[in-house]
Structure 1
Amino acid sequence: MDYQEKLQAIRDFIPYQGDKYISPGKAGVLASQMEAVKTQAQQARMAFTDLAKSFEKQVFDFQLQRTSQWMNQAQILRPHFWVYLIEKSQSVQSPALALRLLNDVSGLGISLEVSLIERQKNETTLYQQNQVLTVATHSELYYFAQIEGTSRRFPMTEANRLELTQGIEAGQVRKVQVKFDIPDLTVFPDESSLLAELKRGWLLLQPYYQATKIPL
């Protein structure tokens, strides 16, 4: 698939967000519909994975992990794929960088973030993750903080950095990610121009990622 075909494959699957998937063998009269959904889901996941693999080639010493599945264990469809890139010298229990699809009023986009794999975390991972708050703010990035089970976006200002730091110390804030968004993938004429913008975001995130690699 070329770049535009990849975007179209992803866009075609987005409307199925939250729908229930039924195995065609158990779907009765919906069997053909479920087969079509499965095909769209697989094509969309492949398109996202191909974009991620192209980006992996731009960032040395980082290894791409498996792309998220197109449905969860309850067979609910989830087209907003994500994938982690882990530095080869680091454990999967350490904070890493991740690519995540976005879809909002701005269109189909992608987010690059300093984040952690929840199912792999250990007793120090959250402490390491929250060291992103020790780095000076940058206007092109933002914080994404989990507070009492709800994740909220915070502009990256000095006031918010201090507020979130105090929230961590008080036990009110669980974790803070740092994110760089590309809101609309369609503004890029080809894959190489998207990769160049992703690489720029990657470089902006490096000080925050490096801050999580504190000696323990």
Structure 2
Amino acid sequence: MSVASQPLGRRERNKQAKLERITAAASELFAEHGVDEVTTQQIADAADIGTGTLFLYAKTKGELLLLVQNAHYATALERGRTAAAEETSAVDAVVALLAPVVECNRVQVDNGRTYLREMVFGDPTEPHHAEALAIVGQTEEATAGILTQHAGLAEAEASTLARVISAIMFLGLAASVNVDSSIEEILASIRTQVAAILPR
């Protein structure tokens, strides 16, 4: 039996079970009340652990939000990849890729905006922050692949434009002026801006 296929020991299983309880408790409380209205004590109580144990898994409430949202973001990105594969134009494929991410971010608007703030200004050495940045990187790689395939751009140019498109999306989601904007309005704005920056 290889090392990779060996079952987890009891300690590792207990750690994984605690992490799953923390994630589930934080996800439910954040969705119901918003991240600003939830305390770490409430999350610890709902996960049936002590606050000291909670801080072993995430040092701040912002890290807890990253933990919860990263899983949702990764799932949304996979849905976007699938949808983008069905499109034939660069703009349509990029919007199809990003639409589930936008939808995910807008499930609870304040949580979505806080998530973006934590991603930009949080501690990059924290594991959940690093994971969030890795997911952003995967999104940009997928965007660059679309631009290479559908717009015929060289890899370097596609990568640069993918970062610009990422900034367009995040600014659209985080901007105070868009707090009351619908998902459709945000996606329409992203579509217009992406179409404007792609070479003709």
Indicate the TM-score class for this superposition, using the shorter chain for normalisation: 0.3 to 0.5
TM-score of the aligned structures, taking structure 1 as reference length: 0.32
TM-score of the aligned structures, taking structure 2 as reference length: 0.34
Larger helix share, 1 or 2: 2
Larger strand share, 1 or 2: 1
